[in-house]
Amino acid sequence: MSAVVTSPTVFRSTVTILRRHPGLLFGLVVITAMVILAVAAPWLHTVDPTYIRPRMRLKPPSAAFWFGTDSTGRDLWSRIAYGSRVSLIVGASVAAISLVIGLVIGMISGVVRKLDGIIMRIMDGVMAIPAILLAIMVVSLFGASLHTVIIAITLPEIPRVVRLTRSVVLTVRGEAYVEAAISMGTPTPILMMRHILPNILAPVIVQATFTASAAILIEASLSFLGIGTPSEIPSWGNIMADGRNYFQMAPQLIMIPGFLVALTVLAVNILGDSLRDLLDPRFARSVGDAQ
Amino acid sequence: MTDHVLSIDHLTVAVTGASEPKTVVTDVSLSVGRQEIVCVVGESGSGKSVTSFSVMGILSPGLAPVAGSIKLLGEELIGASPARMRELRGQRMAMIFQEPMTALNPVMTVGEQIAEIFRYHRPEMSAAQIQQRVQSLAEDVHLPDPTNIVHRYPHQLSGGQRQRIMIAMALALEPALLIADEPTTALDVTTQKQILELVRDLVARQGIGVLFITHDFGVVAEIADRVVVMRAGHVVESGSARDVLTSPRQAYTRALIDAVPGSKLPAAREIADDVLLRVDNLSKTYGSFGLFGRARNANPALQNASLSLRKGEILGIVGESGSGKSTLARCISRLQTPTSGDIWLGGINIAQMQERKLRRHRKAIQVVFQDPNRSLNPRLRIGDALVEGARNFGVDAREASQRSRRLLDLVGMDDSALDRFPHQFSGGQRQRICIARALASEPDILVADEAVSALDVSVQAQVLELLKDLRERLGLAIIFITHDLRVAGQLCDRLVVMQSGKIVEQGPTGSLFAAPRQAYTRELLAAAPGREFLASAQKA
């Protein structure tokens, strides 16, 4: 009964939120489209993206090859469709892993003051190494694979999440409700889970979206430089790297994947911006405190 | 009628763009004459600030005057061009606010900030003339050492001095009207008294009219020539200060006047000599810790404080900001670890106890904080917040939830609160919830740290009644920390007066009020606004 009553209102409030935050709508639409492309790639008029046709090199777009073919005669559309998987997997897993690890370290740092100094100095040390160089080092040490690329991009992102988490934990720790919980004898783990975590999550989630877009960009750059995803796996960066020498004959080899990287990164960033507005407690409270 | 500096006629301010018309100020009329102080009194949400913002033309977007007129020296302000309003602000009318720190630029000396006004509005003045004018303004508002103080930055000044600078800036261009929006609410009582005197003095000397907004009838009694009482956007009563104070026509006005704390001292009560808590020579020094060990700047916030608390007693700790009263409370409730000294709780010294061991003893002492908006976890339902304390001390879930219902009833709220979130309640209700939460672990001692300071006077009176009631019913001992001696006098059995980290005087409320031994206590007592009026009202 209640579900019947609430679902239209939930739907209506969702529509209202999307109308107020057009950025959110844009971000969600683009990302959903990318996810559909990645998941449904085999059924979207694609062929094996690694199949080489020596006689069909650098063909212009046609009915058979929607975006044309590359320098070894592979179908560009299929490569781009399958390549979206790499970008999305890298973006999502880097964001998720760095979020979880950073959140845990950051909360420990913010709550257990004895460890704070040590943890933060280590994080400063990690941050002092340029992200791209660290990634190159990790990939050359452990060999190129999707996993190493993800690890290589995640490592330098962790300190950012740690710093952000720690700073919001410190703010929330000073709040009277946390002190009230301490004076009620709340054990530290419960204090962290019940009182601190729910109140720091919003800014950290917003940070995670920016991490995701940065990861997509870094993966593409690494692949373009030839040190990222192994070249047999189609990724947007690899496609651009292959197309580099044929730019004048077949500009679509760089233009299309380049445009898609830019579009995805833009969509994720705008999504993050809108989430920040939406999750801002000042906004949420102003609604509640209307009278 | 031309003698009026400001006259507001039938002003109505409404929310714009709302589907149904909603007015926040309805049909308000008032006037301010030369050399006159008109107080607008009301609780939060009464529309007193909106009225003053309409005069200044600084209403927040979404609000607009829809009817009536505002005349400043005969000139209509509603519909005046933004450029004209900018000219009038500063030149003809000026405003001072509650929190002077946020209204000053932190990276500019205060003298520069006053001088800037002249550079912008009086380009013909020479640098030397401006300097001279800044000096004389600093003297006008009685700043100490005016030649040097103008070269300081805002953070180097005290709250009272900053408010004086704000007044100097407001008066720089010799406006005819000064609007003061709760200018003393954030200040200590003794500073408040000085600022009120300054405003009165400026009115007499410079002939300006003042529209003074406040929620405190004590302040009204000190300063007002005429009073306008507002409630929910309407003027409910107006008249001369004497008439309104001595014979209010409306029950609401009566209630506001009665809500001024300190109208009556409680009768002394017999308290059994059953000491719950003893504090001996407690000291706390804050030190900043650098990367490599201890750093300088050791600054004692609390020095050798000793006191005791008996069962069923309300002990007031009174002092101005920075007196160490909050540090004392936080050490007693062990939110901070004291540097030295003992806290004896039922024969156990908890002063230096480790957190793990301390947890069991925390049950006995619970805290109610100042700001009810921040002392409830915004993402936790009231029901969950209320059972937490009991659950931590091993009460089973069913018993804990039954207890939370009883507690809500005890603080005068009903069960429907359990499923709601903190933002769905008003400040007073939230403070009741906080008190209920503190009681959930069945403590012996309640530490109330400025627990009523953030509340409207009438709500404040209700919460004070609640605390008294709880003491009667539960035999609770309460440590009541406040900067307001009037509130303390109304509630407490015994008082501790603190100044710069030390206890300067303690004793039973009655004798401390009747015969304060220390000069500082006398000063605090004398500074309480509305004291003379209250004294005369008590005799009558």
3-state secondary structure of B445: strand
Q: According to the model, what pLDDT value does residue B535 have?
A: 65
Nearest CA in chain A to B371: A176
Q: A159 near A123, Cβ under 8 Å? A: yes
> In Å, how far is A271's CA from the nearest CA of chain B?
24
Is B362–A195 a contact, with Cβ atoms under 8 angstroms apart? no
Q: CB-CB: which of A117, A199, A285 is closest to B377?
A: A199
- Report the distance separating Cα A122 and Cα B293, nearest Å: 18
* % of chain B at pLDDT higher than 70: 94
Q: CB-CB: which of A180, A182, A199 is closest to B378?
A: A199
Which of B19, B379, B441, B445 to mutate to test binding with chain A, by most A CBs within 10 Å of its CB?
A: B379
Q: According to the model, what pLDDT value does residue B497 have?
A: 92
Instruction: Enter the tokens of residue B491.
Output: 């509630």
Q: According to the model, what pLDDT value does residue A5 have?
A: 45
What band does A1 get if pLDDT is binned at 50, 70 and 90? very low
Backbone φ and ψ of B172, nearest 5°:
-50, -45
Average pLDDT over residues B495-524: 88
pLDDT in tens, A232-286: 888 898 899 888 888 888 888 899 999 999 999 999 999 988 888 777 655 544 3
pLDDT in tens, B455-473: 777 788 888 888 888 888 8
pLDDT in tens, B350-396: 988 888 888 888 989 999 998 888 899 988 899 999 999 888 888 88
Which chain A residues touch B if contact means CB-CB below 8 Å?
Answer: 117, 175-187, 194-195, 198-199, 281, 284-285, 288-289, 291
Q: How far is CA B371 from CA A35, A45, B343, B427, B448, in A?
A: 46, 62, 26, 8, 11
Highest mean pLDDT among A105-109, B16-20, B49-53, B297-301: A105-109
Q: According to the model, what pLDDT value does residue A3 have?
A: 42
Instruction: Enter the tokens of residue B493.
Output: 């059995």
Looking at the complex, does the CB of residue B423 fall below 8 Å from at least one CB of chain A? yes
Kindly tell me if the per-residue pLDDT of A4 is higher than 60. Answer: no
Q: According to the model, what pLDDT value does residue B455 have?
A: 79
Residue A97's H or E segment, with its range, is helix A76-111
pLDDT in tens, B178-194: 999 888 877 788 888 88
ipTM tops the 0.85 cut: no
Nearest CA in chain B to A202: B379
- Report the distance separating Cα B9 and Cα B27, nearest Å: 8
Question: Closest Cα to residue B229, out of B67, B457, B450, B440?
Answer: B457
Looking at the complex, does the CB of residue B407 fall below 8 Å from at least one CB of chain A? no
> In Å, how far is A111's CA from the nearest CA of chain B?
13
pLDDT in tens, A21-33: 888 899 999 999 9
Residue B304's H or E segment, with its range, is strand B299-310
Average pLDDT, chain B: 86
Kindly tell me if the per-residue pLDDT of A6 is higher than 60. Answer: no
State the count of interchain CB pairs (< 8 A) between A and B. Answer: 74
The string of DSSP letters for B196-255 reads: HHHHHHHHHHH--EEEEEES-HHHHHHH-SEEEEEETTEEEEEEEHHHHHHS-SSHHHHH
The string of DSSP letters for B472-531 reads: HHH--EEEEEES-HHHHHHH-SEEEEEETTEEEEEEEHHHHHHS--SHHHHHHHHHSTTH
- Report the distance separating Cα B402 and Cα B440, nearest Å: 10
- Report the distance separating Cα A218 and Cα A149, nearest Å: 10
- Report the distance separating Cα A169 and Cα A107, nearest Å: 7
Q: A129 near A123, Cβ under 8 Å? A: no
Chain B residues with CB-CB distance to A186 below 8 A: 388, 392
Q: A221 near A241, Cβ under 8 Å? A: no
pLDDT in tens, A221-231: 888 888 888 88
Q: According to the model, what pLDDT value does residue B18 have?
A: 64
Which of A184, A188, A193 to mutate to test binding with chain B, by most B CBs within 10 Å of its CB?
A: A184
Query: What Rg do the C-alpha atoms of chain B give, in angstroms?
Result: 25
- Report the distance separating Cα B469 and Cα B294, nearest Å: 47
